[in-house]
Structure 1
Amino acid sequence: MTTAQPTPAPTVGELFAGIGGMSLGLAWAGFNVRWQVEIDEWCRRILESHWPDAIRFDDIRTLDPDSLAPVDLICGGYPCQPFSNAGKRKGSRDDRHLWPEVVRILRHLRRMERHPAWCLFENVDGHVSMGLDSVLSDLEGIGYTCWPLIVPACAVGARHQRNRVWIVANAKRDLFQGRPALASKGCGQSTQEQLAGLLFPCPWPSLSVARAFRAGDGFSRQVDRNRAIGNAVVPQVAYMMGMAIRTAHEIHNLPYAGDPT
């Protein structure tokens, strides 16, 4: 009697991981988190507590791409301060503009033929009017076909709008031909309909409202927590994106890199 071999799980590595909001959503979608890159020490402790088997790195600026295990998906929410409407919008002149480091890593992996089949990136909606064209051009220059769209937090049941740009990129073939360049900013079903070509209807974990508030008691013990929560992506959106990527990958019979576990 032949024993059926287990299907490999898709694997992911996260840049700018923070407290792991994107890792969490993708783990819900069945991805195995192999490595995470995060410069903040407090955030790295949170990541270690939830993903003890993942390898962690600190500063993306000194990261050697050869030290990264091969994955099916590289994701991350690169710093938004250069593009945010709440900031000075210095763009590439901002010293927090770290997108070039992402490009450096992806180009190296491409040369080594170890680039992931998928990329998933997130940023503020102010990125649409500053810097997004350059990001898409960089990804296409590396060999990725991109589909940018805007998904608000309220699309997955949150009590705030929080529009965010999500960039889905695929290196194997053009899966996005004929799709809209950007989804609308509307809440609810319209956003799901934009994903209908990739995502089979399925439920996702319900969104609970975070109960962490800035305290005015003079103590700083919650500062790291509040900042990290504020910087984190909504995991339910990452879950939706992860399910869409898995569905598209399997519909087109693309192989996974394999789960070493």
Structure 2
Amino acid sequence: MKITNILSLFDGISCGRVALDRIGIEYENYYASEIDKYAIKIAQSNFPDTIQLGDVKNWKEWNLPQIDLLMGGSPCQGFSITGKQLNFEDPRSKLFFEFVDILNYYKPKYFLLENVRMKQEYQDIISNYLGVQPIKINSALVSAQNRNRLYWTNIPNISQPLDKGIILKDVLDGDESIENFINYFDIMKPVNSKSNRVGIIGKGGQGDRIYTTDKKSVTLMAESGGRGAKTGLYLTGEKTVRMLMPNECERLQNLPDNYTEGVSKAQRYKMLGNGWTVDVITHILNNIK
């Protein structure tokens, strides 16, 4: 299949382009709007021919040709159930309306918008603007990561992906390969839980919870605190508790190893927490006719 021009808003590290290439969709031009210099660096290192457009708020100056596919994941921190629920008054959430304006102006054949789970009232507002209801897909079906997301699209016949049955330990490196290893085992407090949590450190805040590797990981986060920071902490050996490494996080997002190499580890974690799970996107885009 071939389409001519693709426009990716809030492009990040171009997970959408990885998905397009993985399923063999041919295209002539890939336009990207992104303002994070580190994300742009990673996108360009993997796809040097990406046409970077800059800030989405300046879209009226772009003068692009007809767009066939518009996709984006507008910043979600203002909507997230796990966040402060700042909704449409949050400046980041207002960027959703830039997506709507661009959609109405270019009238692409296909569009795809990704966002987090949110209050029903916010979800309904987005659905009313886009004219479609979202499909909820958990990345756990195609990855070792629990990551529930909503996808609004006019691409037809989207079903749930088949469950690949991957668990976290399937994508982990051996502990002997981990640099700057920190062992929290001696201060871990075991917990009796029906979830995948096996222990806590201190008071057990979100970043201080310890999980098994025999199930799915928790959701990668761009913004999070505690010892587990953006990946969670995991009991990976008899006396080993650690964070996930960037390569392991790349696998949770179905990206090639070292895809985000070239920036600091902190930036890699942030970008991967903001990114898309590639195989979910390939599943959706596979229905383009």
Aligned partner of residue 17 in structure 1, secondary structure: coil
Report the equivalent of 1:192: 161
> Structure 1 stretch 27-36 or stretch 232-241: which is displaced more?
27-36
Report Cα offsets for 1:24-57 as digits up to 9, x if no partner.
Answer: 1122122335211111011111111222222111
1:63 is displaced (CA, Å) by: 2.0
RMSD of aligned residue pairs (Cα, Å): 2.7
Structure 2 vs 1, CA of residues 211 and 138 (structure 1 numbering), >3 Å: closer, same or farther? same
Percentage of matched positions with identical amino acids: 26
Tell me how far apart the structure 1 counterparts of residues 111 and 81 of structure 2 sit (CA, whole Å).
25
Report the equivalent of 2:19: 25
The within-5 A match list for 1:95-174 is: 95-97=91-93, 98-109=95-106, 115-126=107-118, 129-140=120-131, 146-156=132-142, 158-169=143-154
Tell me how far apart the structure 2 counterparts of residues 130 and 77 of structure 1 sit (CA, whole Å).
19
Letter in structure 2 aligned against 1:150: K
Tell me how far apart the structure 2 counterparts of residues 155 and 10 of structure 1 sit (CA, whole Å).
31
Report Cα offsets for 1:123-178 as digits up to 9, x if no partner.
Answer: 1112x5242211121123xxxxx24211111111x2222111111125xxxx56xx
Report the equivalent of 1:259: none
Structure 2 vs 1, CA of residues 13 and 133 (structure 1 numbering), >3 Å: closer, same or farther? same
Report the equivalent of 1:188: none
**Residues matched between the structures, number:** 194
Report the equivalent of 1:112: none
The within-5 A match list for 1:31-110 is: 31=25, 32=27, 34-64=30-60, 66-97=62-93, 98-109=95-106
TM-score between the two structures when normalised by the length of structure 1: 0.66
Q: Contact 2:33/2:56 (CA < 8 Å) preserved in 1? A: yes
TM-score between the two structures when normalised by the length of structure 2: 0.60
Structure 2 vs 1, CA of residues 68 and 10 (structure 1 numbering), >3 Å: closer, same or farther? closer
Tell me how far apart the structure 1 counterparts of residues 50 and 78 of structure 2 sit (CA, whole Å).
29
**Structure 2 stretches of 5 or more lacking a match?**
163-169, 173-243, 250-262
| Bigger radius of gyration | 2
Structure 2 vs 1, CA of residues 47 and 159 (structure 1 numbering), >3 Å: closer, same or farther? same
1:211 is displaced (CA, Å) by: 3.6
Q: Contact 1:91/1:130 (CA < 8 Å) preserved in 2? A: no
Q: Kindly indicate whether structure 1 or structure 2 has the higher relative contact order, using CA contacts under 8 Å at least 6 residues apart.
A: 1
1:79 is displaced (CA, Å) by: 0.8
Report Cα offsets for 1:196-218 as digits up to 9, x if no partner.
Answer: xxxxxxxxxxx96684189xxxx
Q: Contact 1:40/1:58 (CA < 8 Å) preserved in 2? A: no
**Structure 1 stretches of 5 or more lacking a match?**
1-6, 110-114, 141-145, 184-190, 194-206, 215-219, 250-261
Report Cα offsets for 1:60-91 as digits up to 9, x if no partner.
Answer: 11222652332321001111111101211111
